[in-house]
Chain A
């Protein structure tokens, strides 16, 4: 069994742009071999956090370590072990995919064979001589992935890798990411596409308005607690009654349903409790907890009184 290593460790990392606090004292860690999803709504501070790790944004305060590096020293050497893309693919539009990768290869001190291999992995060999500006968005994302994996990095940082892609493109990117993870790479990807993250990641951290709300394994947080869906004619009255049920941790309304998180999955007891209060449910069933449920609970926590689910 290979020994795990902390590849990213942040400590109270903060970025402030004048009056705007983009990232607020976030601390998290990523271990080698993980596929780590960095989840958050648009504008929550995901890209700023990755930008700080990559050295293109200067933190206002706080520290971070890459591969256990001393945070007081330059991270340049450690960054050479990282392949990354940030936001949309930034390549020279007038150059071909091949020439763009030649630039990356020179920076990473790699040769022609590595470029060919990277193009093959992402399936762009046939269009390598076309100008970047003629590529579709999916091809641009794949070229960005090719640049990322060029140089055989130990850690791959991807910022919204499936952004703007159609389902087929998303599936391709997902497979490439899973193949890279199977190859032993540590993957850190930011996204607001919860279903994609759930299908891909082993661990997640949830960020909102610059604050880290939760960090845990995907299996751990989706299996925790018991989520129950209920329906009744008066859903507001139903919610107020369910909130009084002793095993209820939190509630929220979604479409015509009331979703309740219970720390004890006693559905019969809940049904009895509600009916004794004069409300009869037309639907009551346990619902598997998805990452989306966790995300909604955590990010809406203030509004609906959701607690820490970790």
Chain B
């Protein structure tokens, strides 16, 4: 029951927040421009089915998924930090929410924003793809297994990015600064940390690969989901006389992902709980 109440409250707060709406619409606009091109090509070129289902999943679930992830995390930072800078978090607790309920509402909101942005992006792409798909000609499953696991993996990556954004928001409490810290972390701070640890010796490789962003991004690495892609990667590595890429496998990936989610969400909670509002 409390979850329903928290969601209603967040819907009132977020649904009329201009910054959130703008980031959502901007992402939807970008998605439209991204998917219009393959749609137009497929429509114009006879016999081209690259953007028809089920092949379209390859384009829908490609690296461009970083766009909704990026915009979604910016939206999370905007809506979360605002609660602290304008002290409405304090007022919510004064009005009767416990600190735990308030934190739960922010966590739910962060996850829902991830789902909303990913869902919108995929819905726009899928609409274009559906428009050029002859569904009667689909031979085999509409959503192949490798695409289904990739979809789950992307969702895992998105939720991981969202958890980092939430952690940064609670720590920094200022939207501009939080965005800066989050962008710096995902773009180079973690790489720098990894590089610094690597310099300590070969034994550290096992640690570096499990840093949070690497773990989250691994969930949507195509070689984990598509055996053909993995075979290609092995072939390429061997042609370059390099070590073949490592496959984590689902159990390792899930364990590492879950651990980091617990650390980030749990850490955010401890941080929030301890702090005076």
Contact = CB atoms under 8 A, between A and B. Distances in A.
Interface of A: 51, 54-58, 74, 76, 79-80, 84-86, 90-95, 99, 102-104, 106-109, 147, 151
A58 B97 CA distance: 16
Contact of B94 (A58, A86, A109): A86
A56 B94 contact: yes
A217 to B, nearest CB: 28
Contacts of B94: 54, 56, 84-86
Nearest to A79: B96
Contact of A93 (B86, B93, B99): B86
A74 B273 CA distance: 14
Contact of A107 (B90, B95, B277): B95
- Top 4 A-B residue pairs of the complex, sorted by shortest distance between their CB atoms: A90-B91, A56-B277, A90-B87, A57-B276
Interface stretch (B11-19, B198-206, B211-219, B255-263): B11-19
Contacts of A86: 90-91, 94
A80 B96 contact: yes
Given A90-B88, A90-B90, 16 more contacts: A56-B94, A56-B276, A79-B96, A80-B96, A85-B91, A85-B94, A86-B91, A90-B86, A91-B88, A91-B91, A95-B16, A106-B8, A107-B9, A107-B96, A107-B97, A147-B91
A159 to B, nearest CB: 10
Nearest to B276: A57
Contacts of A147: 91, 95
A79 B102 CA distance: 15
B155 to A, nearest CB: 29
Contacts of B196: none
Nearest to B90: A56
Contacts of B88: 90-92
B187 interface: no
Interface in B208-257: none
Contacts of B93: 54-56
B177 interface: no
B275 to A, nearest CB: 9
A109 B26 CA distance: 36
Task: Classify chain B's interface size.
Answer: 20 to 34
A102 B96 CA distance: 13
Nearest to A151: B96
A182 to B, nearest CB: 24
A99 B91 contact: no
B90 A108 contact: no
Nearest to B17: A94
Contact of B277 (A57, A85, A95, A99): A57
B173 to A, nearest CB: 14
Contacts of B87: 90
Most chain A CB inside 10 Å of its own CB: which residue of B86, B91, B92 = B91
A57 B98 CA distance: 13
Interface string B16-44: 11100000000000000000000000000
B20 to A, nearest CB: 10
A103 B98 contact: no
B86 A92 contact: yes
Contacts of B277: 51, 56-57
Contacts of B91: 85-86, 90-91, 147
Nearest to B277: A56
A148 B17 CA distance: 24
Contact of A103 (B9, B17, B18, B86): B9
Nearest to A109: B5
B12 A102 contact: yes
Contact of A55 (B8, B16, B18, B99): B99
B12 A99 contact: yes
10 contacts: A57-B277, A58-B276, A74-B98, A90-B91, A94-B17, A95-B13, A99-B16, A104-B95, A106-B8, A147-B95
Most buried by A among B87, B94, B97: B94
Interface string B81-121: 00000111011111111110000000000000000000000
A57 B95 CA distance: 15
A99 B16 CA distance: 10
Contacts of A104: 95
